[in-house]
Chains A and B, each alone.
Chain A
């Protein structure tokens, strides 16, 4: 039963990783930009939520309604005024700019909030659970996070496959030159991709903050897990990202079951094994790697 329990907990944890990862994957797909500040932006969203609760009170759950739209808006203009310029500067510039942004965010947060751990207190929801089998309990919050993760992924997939803007994003991801020659505005498309990425990572950041404690420097490990989820699942494939997140989550919780300190290490090893033996990811196609 302890193994079943580990797998179930890992599955639920994977949902959170998938939320973190889908935006990273989308931005990389549309503009070949690896946003190294992705995790930090999630953490920043969590601190934003803390400020809102301090001043306005109530259960942190309501802050989703404020934080997520603001994150989307910030993403739109961050792309327009910072990332777009970085993309014009060659291959190295976007990495340097997003790495710099990551450092700026971490230090600003330390300066403002100190290095102490914080958490978002959501009351009873944080410890209530359901019993699904003998000795297997699932936290209600974890189940909610997983359900939201699936909704986010399905919603994003529907958006990409059914809407005009989604088509523009897919076309741009496939061939930037042809996209602009087909009348697709590349700036607008990139801004929308980043708006979506920041909105989703804000959701992830808030859930993470409700689930565990966090600190100004938590963003780096979130970024790493998001990366691993994207690679394990396969680039450019949202279902793959969900599967990758789940695989990583299960590897970590099962690893912790083997030896409490080794969970993250086992997750990293699974990631490296995928990279070595199945670089297209669990769901990806071989041809996606060749491109």
Chain B
């Protein structure tokens, strides 16, 4: 069943057209990786799904219900949670209050404080600390935990690995696998292609607001990806030069 469906959405980033008649479907339980260079339209795509931006044209459906006009907090109630790029924690609040604030919708499900602390044991020890004093990896874990507290059926992740050490990225992605084991659908936006493709069971590559490549990650060749990513064939000679 199609969990999330975008039907020919067009959206602008300022005056620039960020997405052009883009259509997209995500099935329940799927892990979809959205890759693409800076400015390809990835963040705009997420903002259309989270409700922070409305499309100029087109509709957004969630479980076949039109949610195009719903505000972000209403979409969280329906089961869509976004972990925003840069984490956007409540820096003056304790780790535990950050997590609790994610539960404000009172959606029922498997995720509560104990479950999040079990998923990320290293933040349990810091539950009384202000979120602002945490390390980048800890903050990212809190941000994911806060989103989980709303018991989402669709979890959107924007640049989870940005600025983090490889070992921490590996831990976070391991946690994502456990989250999907609970039946949660994942949409991962990344510039870190390797991690995203390894985790995903379907991938799309955006270029200038359009889907230029899609398929199961293991069927996509490196060359096809780099061509889609940069918009032109780098060719054997330039490859050798780099």
Chain A residues within 8 Å of B, Cβ to Cβ: 164, 167-168, 170-171, 174-175, 177-186, 236, 287-288
Q: B203 to nearest A CB, angstroms?
A: 25
> In the assembled complex, which residues on chain A have CB atoms less than 8 Å from the CB atom of B73?
180-186
Residue from A167, A178, A180, A186 whose CB has the most chain B CB atoms within 10 Å: A178
> Separation in Å of the A99 CB from the closest CB of chain B?
29
A-B contact count (CB 8 A): 69
Q: Which of B11-26 contact A (CB under 8 A)?
A: none
CB <8 Å contact, B97 and A170:
yes
- CB contact list, B66-119 vs A, under 8 A: 71-73, 76-77, 81-82, 84, 88-93, 97, 100-102, 104-105
- Find chain A residues with CB under 8 A from B146 CB: 182
Shortest B9–chain A CB gap in Å is: 20
Complex CA gap A178/B52 in Å reads: 11
Please give the distance in Å from B85's CB to the nearest CB on chain A.
Answer: 11
B84 and A167 form a contact (CB under 8 A): no
**Interchain CB contact under 8 A, B104 and A178:** no
Beyond A181-B88, A182-B101, is A171–B93 a contact (Cβ under 8 Å)? yes
Given that A183-B77, A184-B104 are contacting pairs, would A171 and B72 also be in contact in the complex, using a CB cutoff of 8 Å? Answer: no
Are B104 and A168 in touch, CB under 8 angstroms?
Answer: yes
From B52, B90, B101, B150, name the one whose CB has the most chain A CB atoms within 10 angstroms. B101
Q: Residues of B at under 8 Å CB distance from A?
A: 50, 52, 71-73, 76-77, 81-82, 84, 88-93, 97, 100-102, 104-105, 132, 146-147, 150
Taking CB atoms, residues of chain B closer than 8 Å to A180 are 71-73
Check B88 against A167 for contact (C-beta < 8 Å).
no
Please name the 10 residue pairs, one residue from A and one from B, whose CB atoms are nearest each other, closest first. Answer: A183-B76, A183-B105, A178-B88, A174-B90, A171-B101, A180-B72, A180-B73, A183-B104, A182-B102, A185-B73
Who on chain B is nearest to A287 by CB? B132
Q: Are B76 and A167 in contact (CB under 8 A)?
A: no
Across the interface, do A171 and B50 meet the contact criterion of CB distance under 8 Å? no
Q: Chain A residues near B92 (CB, 8 Å)?
A: 170, 174, 236, 288
Contact assessment for B89 and A181 in the assembled complex, using a CB-CB cutoff below 8 Å: no
A177: chain B residues at CB < 8 Å are: 52, 84, 88
B132 neighbours in A (Cβ, 8 Å): 287
Using Cβ atoms and an 8 Å threshold, which residues of chain A touch B97? 167, 170-171
A90 to B155, CA, bound (A): 32
In the bound complex, residues from chain B placing their C-beta under 8 Å from that of A288 are 92
A178 near B90 with CB under 8 A, answer yes
Interchain Cβ contacts under 8 Å between A and B, 29 examples = A164-B104, A167-B100, A167-B104, A168-B101, A168-B104, A170-B90, A170-B93, A171-B93, A171-B97, A174-B91, A174-B92, A174-B93, A175-B89, A175-B91, A178-B90, A179-B90, A179-B101, A180-B71, A181-B52, A181-B73, A181-B82, A182-B73, A182-B104, A182-B150, A183-B77, A183-B102, A184-B73, A186-B73, A236-B92
Q: Which residues of B contact A171 (CB under 8 A)?
A: 90, 93, 97, 101
- Kindly report which residue of chain A lies nearest to residue B77, judged by CB atoms: A183
Contacts of A179 in B (CB 8 A): 90, 101
Cα distance, A166 to B101, chains bound together (Å): 10
Q: A175-B89, A181-B88, A183-B102 are in contact. List 17 more A-B contacts (CB 8 A).
A: A164-B104, A168-B101, A168-B104, A170-B93, A170-B97, A175-B88, A178-B84, A180-B73, A182-B73, A182-B101, A182-B146, A182-B150, A183-B77, A183-B104, A184-B104, A186-B73, A287-B132
Most chain A CB atoms below 10 A, which of B77, B91, B104, B132: B104
Task: Give min CB distance, A162 to chain B, whole Å.
Answer: 11
**Residue of A with least CB distance to B72:** A180
Write the nearest CB–CB distance from A270 to chain B, whole angstroms.
Answer: 27
Chain B residues within an 8 Å CB radius of A170: 90, 92-93, 97
Q: Which residue of B lies closest to A186 (CB)?
A: B73
CB-based contact A181/B104 at 8 Å: no
Interface centre among A167, A181, A184 (most CB of B within 10 A): A181
For residue B91, which residues in chain A have a CB less than 8 angstroms away from its CB?
174-175
In the bound assembly, the distance between CA atoms of A170 and B93 in angstroms comes to 8
Contacts of B147 in A (CB 8 A): 182
B88 neighbours in A (Cβ, 8 Å): 175, 177-178, 181
Which residues of B have CB within 8 Å of A164?
104
- Cβ A184 vs Cβ B82 within 8 A: no
Query: Which residue from chain B places its CB closest to the CB of A179 in the assembled complex?
Result: B101
Q: Find chain B residues with CB under 8 A from A185 CB.
A: 73
Chain B residue with the shortest CB-CB distance to A176: B88
Given contacts A171-B90, A178-B84, A178-B89, contact A184 B50 (CB under 8 A): no
Tell me whether B72 and A181 are in contact (CB under 8 A). yes
